[in-house]
Amino acid sequence: MAPEPPLLSMSGITKSFPGVRALDGVDLDVQAGEVHCLLGQNGAGKSTLIKVLAGAHQPDTGTIRWRGEDVTLRSPIAAMRLGIATIYQELDLVEHLSVAENVHLGHEPTAAGFVVRGRAAKASTAELLKRLGHPEVDPGRLVGDLSAAQQQIVSMARALSHDVRLIVMDEPSAALDPDEVDNLFRIVADLTADGVAVVYISHRLEEIRRIGDRVTVLKDGRAVAGGLPAESTPTREVVALMTGRNVEYVFPERPAEPPAAEPVLKVEGLSRQGEFAPLDLEVRPGEIVGLAGLVGSGRSEILETVYGARKATTGRVLVGGQPLRPGSVRAAVRAGLGLAPEERKAQALLMLESVTRNVSVSAMSRFSRGGWIDRGAELGAAREATRELSLRPDNPAVPVRTLSGGNQQKAVLARWLLRGCRVLLLDEPTRGVDVGARAELYAVIRRLADEGLAVLLVSSEVPEVLGLADRVLVLREGRVVHEAPARELDEPRVLDLVMEGSPAS
Amino acid sequence: MTQHVSPPRGGTDKAAPVEGPPAWRVRLGRADVRTLTLLGVLAVLVLIGGITQPDSFLDTRNLQLVLTQASVIGVVTVGMTFVIVSGGIDLSVGAIVALSSVWATTVATQEYGFFGILFTAVVVGVGCGLVNGVLIAFGQMVPFIATLAMLASARGLALQITDGRTQVVTVPGVLDLAERDSYVLGIPPLVMVFAAVTVIGWLVLNRTTFGRRTVAVGGNAEAARLAGIDVRRQRLYLYLLSGLCCGIAAFLLIALAGSGQNTNGNLYELDAIAAAIIGGTLLTGGRGHILGSVLGVLIFTTITNIFALNNLQTDVQQIAKGAIIVAAVLVQRRTASTH
Amino acid sequence: MTKLTSRRGLLFGAAAVSAGAVLTGCTSNDPDGGDDKAADTQPAADDKPGKPVTIGYAGPQADHGWLNAVNEQAKKRAEKYSEVTLEVTEGSNDTAQQIGQIETLINKKVDVLVILPADGKALTQVGLKAMRAGIPVINLDRIFNSPQAYRCWVGGDNYGMGLNAAHYIGEKLKDKSDAKVIELAGIDNLELTQQRTQGFDDGLKNYPNIKKVARQAAEFTVESGQAKMAQLLQAQSDFDALWNHDDDQGVGALRAIEQAGRDDFLMVGGAGALSAFQAIKADSGVLKATVLYPPTMAASAIDLARALGQGKGVSGLAEFEIPSTVTCYSAVVDKDNVDQYMSTGFK
């Protein structure tokens, strides 16, 4: 491309956290004055990558070159000194300070080295805000009193208050109204005209088409495509890169005959205000039903509402013909539901505890009498459940935090296996699971279904849903737009549905 | 984490099964480091006491004295440990001890004799715990705030009941508990109660579903809820338990001091939290050790004893106590990071 | 010894003030305190009703038996005089709240203020304010920072408590060679505790045969008294006398002594609690005496306030005005004179 070296060049960046490899050899080149879009599903590694770029995480391996020279970004301050500013999705502003104070936080204009020159700070802040198209924001106001869009402007003003050459924007349009988005794009255009580079992260493909120059797609911690032209690459190709597979998986065989038993889980007209429209679905014992959709389609919300972790606005959930008490997880668990949530560490695991105790926590009554735990029986039961799922290492006494992502997921599944649940709700079951360990997890899930469990599966990876589920419901913006047996669908068809929301059949 | 991506992980693991150390070694190893550290500190203290005051420190009466003095705060600390393990805090323990001790020693209560006093102390303690629990579990109040409010109001009520007066106990059965004649095989009854509470507390935390649920709620409340645990009810029970311990402690204090006073239990909350922390209980919840807490109490009581025997004054005692807390936490962070 | 005599002089004021009423005679052990009739040409306050006086009284929260007794003494004394109206505030330990209460009393234009501050230093300003508003202030016990903030200070003598305790113990042990005493002090970071200890140490210097072998500080509470005494008893297997700064913590100390089964020493208490008086009277244990920190000072303060309001001096003194400082004597109460004090003992 350009004859001079790229402004930023990251190559072979890897970063591992206990149990998961978040970045696995990522390359990223950014030219001065371009808008470089970063695309990827939740958990694809975007956040980790921008934290590496911001100096908040140190990469395990890999090199970062800045204007042709090797650099180490030891801290956010080091990155800032080079001219790299990051605007996070969760804005890192101090609510109880004024706009001007936030903009100049850490580099206040001072007299005699320590006296803050409040007037000068306000004046330069006003200047920046004007440049950003929001002259109406008073530099003296408290940030906590501003709207989300205004706060974002403040955050951007803060970035520009440094001598900035690269701005990373993490989903900047997520909290904005359409006309505010237009202003944002104008700002981005102004910046790039001045030679500033922008790394722009978004789920919205249409935005990327409007302002992007090039696109890098991340998936499972790898850059599956780098530097694609933003305007001319077909949408389907981009989505396929995001949701598709870079490794071909062998999915387990489906049973020849669709299960004939009565549905064990019935959802009737279930909805939640602002999240998803009334929904009907049935899952039979032995059947895996998949919900496919992009971020924001309401997938996780549906599962959590079925489970009682969120209270439904309308409708009801029946298990074995009996309606569940709404909004009660305990009622759902007692009726035989089990959830493997999306955020395993935050929502499912007791990270300080052993595998045994994580597995036994929902089934303690099975090996206790009068509240007294028979620890031998507990260990035996946990061992049996984890062995059945081939959890490694084969020692349930080890702390669960030392397990890999896939084995942590198995610990969650073992919990529900031990509990003896009838319906398993799986939210992104392979999120954070090493690519290599997924096939085994699929086999486990299928085996559980074959043994008579009903499985409701949510995944943002279309091939996963198509490969694993018997029947698929396609969601778009909280609505089911299509329902069909998985074998009658293919990836392009689902992608069309997910993106266009075209009417069923 | 292995470097290869495919083939699937399960296969390679089967080829070379990873065997960690056996379960008992893992657990014993961790328990050992922690408990040995505390026992080491205690041993050093005993050494210092023995060298500086060989006659008065190393004798049976002094052992009885130290254990007796540790009993009241020790029982409170067992309850506090449960609350902290669940991710909460109970700042009202000292105030509850005061209120229980005062309510149980009014003239009217003393007419009902031994069991009147015992019953009142326990019921008042549990009652305060119930209020704490309801506010926290169902009123969605932060434990710090709810128990701080209880601290203020229980102390206030205790003052109102007594008018600042010392209520002397005249029931012989209660007073006898803290006198030498009632020692069984040289063990003071108060110490027996303390030991019993410790053993029961240990068993409940480590061997029962109640203990497991407590740890789960403290370790990850959201995960516990999604695993089907009734988090709110568990929280309620925990503050009840802490209140119960305060009631028992109040009864022991009534026997020991022979009176009830609104100033009883002064700063127990801080002593109990400090003992639990040096005992290895995480202030953030999810992990706690009854034996560690009890060793923490014994360390503090022994320090006080050694300092008093050497006629050192309060200021020095307080400095030493602060230093021990910092040292214990630092040592634990070191040992924790090696696991 | 000059110190002692000058203290006598001061005590005389206090003794005379509370003389007539409560004790029908004199409060001190002083045999020559009987010149009441010396100067009756000046108008001196007496029991006869005079000009009506409204006295504002602001005390702290009675979270201790002694403070409770102080408040009671003030109220009872005021009831005795038909022409005296006492405006009593809700007792408070909160400085800001107490300031507010006193300002209310100033606005009500009471004739005289009696203030026992929760914190003497912190309430100096409001004392000044009252004085400037023309309302004379009787400052009770906890002294203000500035003498301009009060017309008259009435309080106890912490140094004298220690001194008199030492004298009492010294006389009892003067024939014993190598006698040992121990001290159970009050809250160590209070100035009054330091004063009591200083007085005790100074007093003991008169008795070279006596050595103070141990001192521990308790917290004025029964619980701490028991705990610290138990440790002291373990530390000192053999001693002859104990001085305990406070009778409230003494309840705990006596409990520890009973639990340890010790009776081989004599004990002197402090403050003057009813339970201590009763034990002294019964003479069945180690407690042989207690040194007063008399709550009757509040009654004296009311008397002084009344005299001030009526523009009179105090009977028994030649002065036209009431004194500016009245330090109450820390009398030693033992078996011989305990009956006299029984009614002032606080619970």
Q: Is B184 exposed, middle or buried (0-12, 13-18, 19+ CB in 10 A)?
A: exposed
Alpha helix positions (H), chain B:
9-15, 23-52, 54-57, 60-85, 93-103, 107-110, 113-137, 143-162, 172-176, 189-207, 209-219, 221-226, 231-257, 268-278, 290-309, 314-337
DSSP-assigned beta bridge partners for residue C313:
C44
Q: What is the ipTM of this complex?
A: 0.84
pLDDT in tens, C206-218: 999 999 999 999 9
pLDDT at B317 over 50: yes
**Average pLDDT score over chain B:** 87
> In terms of residues, how long is chain C?
347
Contact B165 C226 (CB under 8 A): no
pLDDT at A18 over 90: no
Residue B28's pLDDT band, with cuts at 50, 70 and 90, is: low
**How many Å apart are CA A323 and CA A308, to the nearest integer?**
12
Cβ B311 vs Cβ B55: under 8 Å: no
Q: Which residues of A touch B231 (CB under 8 A)?
A: none
Residue A9, number of CB atoms within 10 A of its CB:
18
Cβ C237 vs Cβ C202: under 8 Å: no
State residue B339's pLDDT score.
45
- Of A450, A9, A30, the closest CA to residue A212 belongs to A30
Query: What subunits touch chain A, counting only 3 or more CB pairs under 8 A?
Result: B
- Of B297, B309, B273, B263, the closest CA to residue B69 belongs to B297
Residue A352, number of CB atoms within 10 A of its CB:
18
pLDDT at A453 over 70: yes
State residue C40's pLDDT score.
43
Q: Which tokens in the block code for residue A341? A: 């949530």
Give the largest CA-CA distance in chain A: 82
**How many Å apart are CA B278 and CA B328, to the nearest integer?**
5
Contact C231 B309 (CB under 8 A): yes
Helix (H, G, I), strand (E, B) or coil at A337: strand
Task: State the Cα angle at A354 between B7 and A349, rounded to 5°.
Answer: 75
- The minimal CB distance from C259 to the residues B180, B262, B310 is found for B180
Lowest mean per-residue pLDDT among A94-98, A360-364, A431-435, B85-89: A431-435
Cβ B77 vs Cβ B296: under 8 Å: yes
Lowest mean per-residue pLDDT among A256-270, C38-52, C125-139: C38-52
| Percent of chain A whose predicted confidence (pLDDT) is above 70 | 93
Q: What is the dihedral of CA A104, A107, A109, A114, to 10 degrees?
A: 130
**How many Å apart are CA A408 and CA B38, to the nearest integer?**
34
Rounded to a whole number, what is the distance in angstroms from the first to the last CA of chain A?
Answer: 45
Contact C255 B163 (CB under 8 A): no
Helix (H, G, I), strand (E, B) or coil at A251: coil
Residue C258's pLDDT band, with cuts at 50, 70 and 90, is: very high
Q: Which residues of C touch B263 (CB under 8 A)?
A: 63-64, 219-223
- The minimal CB distance from C223 to the residues B62, B68, B264 is found for B264
The predicted model gives A229-254 an average pLDDT of 75
Residue C106 parent element (H or E): helix C95-107
Contact C228 B264 (CB under 8 A): no
State residue B25's pLDDT score.
55
Residue contacts between A and B (CB atoms, under 8 Å): 129
- The minimal CB distance from B287 to the residues A309, A352, A379 is found for A352
Q: Where are the beta strands (DSSP E) in A237-336?
A: 265-272, 276-283, 288-292, 314-319, 322-323
**How many Å apart are CA C344 and CA C347, to the nearest integer?**
10
Q: Is the dihedral of CA B227, B229, B230, B233 positive or negative?
A: negative
Give the Å distances, CA to CA, from A279 to A161, A424, B226: 49, 18, 22
State residue C19's pLDDT score.
36
pLDDT in tens, B178-211: 988 889 999 999 999 999 999 999 999 999 999 9
Contact B258 C230 (CB under 8 A): no
Contacts by B296-299, CB closer than 8 A, 24 or more apart: B296/B38, B296/B77, B296/B328, B297/B70, B297/B73, B297/B74, B297/B77, B297/B271, B298/B42, B298/B66, B298/B67, B298/B70, B298/B74, B299/B38, B299/B41, B299/B42, B299/B45, B299/B275, B299/B324
| Percent of chain B whose predicted confidence (pLDDT) is above 90 | 61
Phi/psi region, residue C345 (left: phi>0; alpha: psi -120 to 50; beta: rest), is beta
pLDDT at C325 over 90: yes
pLDDT at A250 over 80: no
Residue A265's pLDDT band, with cuts at 50, 70 and 90, is: very high
Nearest CA in chain A to B6: A436
| Percent of chain A whose predicted confidence (pLDDT) is above 90 | 35
Contact C231 B168 (CB under 8 A): no
DSSP-assigned beta bridge partners for residue B245:
none
Cβ B281 vs Cβ B84: under 8 Å: yes
Number of Cα atoms under 13 Å in the Cβ half of residue A457: 33
pLDDT at B311 over 60: yes
DSSP secondary structure letter of residue C20: I
pLDDT at C231 over 80: yes
pLDDT at C3 over 60: no
Contact C232 B308 (CB under 8 A): yes
Residue with the larger pLDDT of the pair B88 and A180: B88
Q: Which residues of C touch B178 (CB under 8 A)?
A: 255, 259
State residue A112's pLDDT score.
65
Lowest mean per-residue pLDDT among A147-156, B13-22, B122-131, B281-290: B13-22
Contact B8 A436 (CB under 8 A): yes
The rounded radius of gyration (Å) of the Cα atoms in chain B is 22
State how far residue B311 is from chain C, nearest Cα, in angstroms: 6
| Percent of chain B whose predicted confidence (pLDDT) is above 70 | 88
Q: Where are the beta strands (DSSP E) in A96-149?
A: 110-111, 115-116
Helix (H, G, I), strand (E, B) or coil at A482: strand
Contact A346 B220 (CB under 8 A): yes
State how far residue C347 is from chain B, nearest Cα, in angstroms: 5
Contact B227 A362 (CB under 8 A): yes
Cβ C318 vs Cβ C39: under 8 Å: yes
pLDDT at C37 over 50: no
**How many Å apart are CA C103 and CA C100, to the nearest integer?**
5
Q: Which residues of A touch B27 (CB under 8 A)?
A: 397
DSSP secondary structure letter of residue A255: P
Residue with the larger pLDDT of the pair C212 and A111: C212
Confirm or reject contact between B338 and chain A (CB < 8 A): no
DSSP secondary structure letter of residue C185: E
Q: Are strands A288-292 and A471-476 parallel, antiparallel or unpaired?
A: parallel
Omega prior to B7 cis, within 30 of 0: yes
Residue with the larger pLDDT of the pair A299 and C240: C240
Residue B10's pLDDT band, with cuts at 50, 70 and 90, is: very low
Confirm or reject contact between A392 and chain B (CB < 8 A): yes
Contact A350 B220 (CB under 8 A): yes
pLDDT in tens, A301-352: 999 999 999 999 999 999 999 999 999 999 999 999 999 998 888 899 999 8
Give the Å distances, CA to CA, from A253 to A442, A444, A449, A470: 10, 12, 12, 10
State residue A500's pLDDT score.
63
Q: Which residues of B touch A352 (CB under 8 A)?
A: 219, 286-287
Residue for token pair 């110190």: C3
Cβ B79 vs Cβ B96: under 8 Å: no
Residue with the larger pLDDT of the pair A155 and B27: A155
- Of A44, A51, A41, A12, the closest CA to residue A28 belongs to A12
Helix (H, G, I), strand (E, B) or coil at C70: helix
Residue B327's pLDDT band, with cuts at 50, 70 and 90, is: confident
**How many Å apart are CA B135 and CA A384, to the nearest integer?**
41
Model confidence, pTM: 0.82
Q: Which residues of A touch B229 (CB under 8 A)?
A: 330, 361-362
Residue with the larger pLDDT of the pair C146 and B5: C146
The per-residue b/e assignment along B211-239, b for 16 or more CB within 10 angstroms, e otherwise, is: bbbbbbbbbbbebbbbbbbbbbebbbbbb
Helix (H, G, I), strand (E, B) or coil at A42: coil
The predicted model gives B148-169 an average pLDDT of 91
Phi/psi region, residue A43 (left: phi>0; alpha: psi -120 to 50; beta: rest), is left
**How many Å apart are CA B225 and CA A330, to the nearest integer?**
8
pLDDT at B174 over 70: yes
C and A make contact (3+ CB pairs below 8 Å): no
Omega prior to A393 cis, within 30 of 0: yes
DSSP-assigned beta bridge partners for residue C292:
C271
Chosen for mutation from B220, B234, B237, B289 (greatest number of chain A CBs closer than 10 Å) is B220
DSSP for B229-288, written as a single string: --HHHHHHHHHHHHHHHHHHHHHHHHHHHSEE-TTTTTTHHHHHHHHHHHTT--TTSS--
**Average pLDDT score over chain C:** 85
Contact C226 B256 (CB under 8 A): yes
The predicted model gives A429-450 an average pLDDT of 85
Q: Which residues of B touch C252 (CB under 8 A)?
A: 257-259
DSSP-assigned beta bridge partners for residue C44:
C313
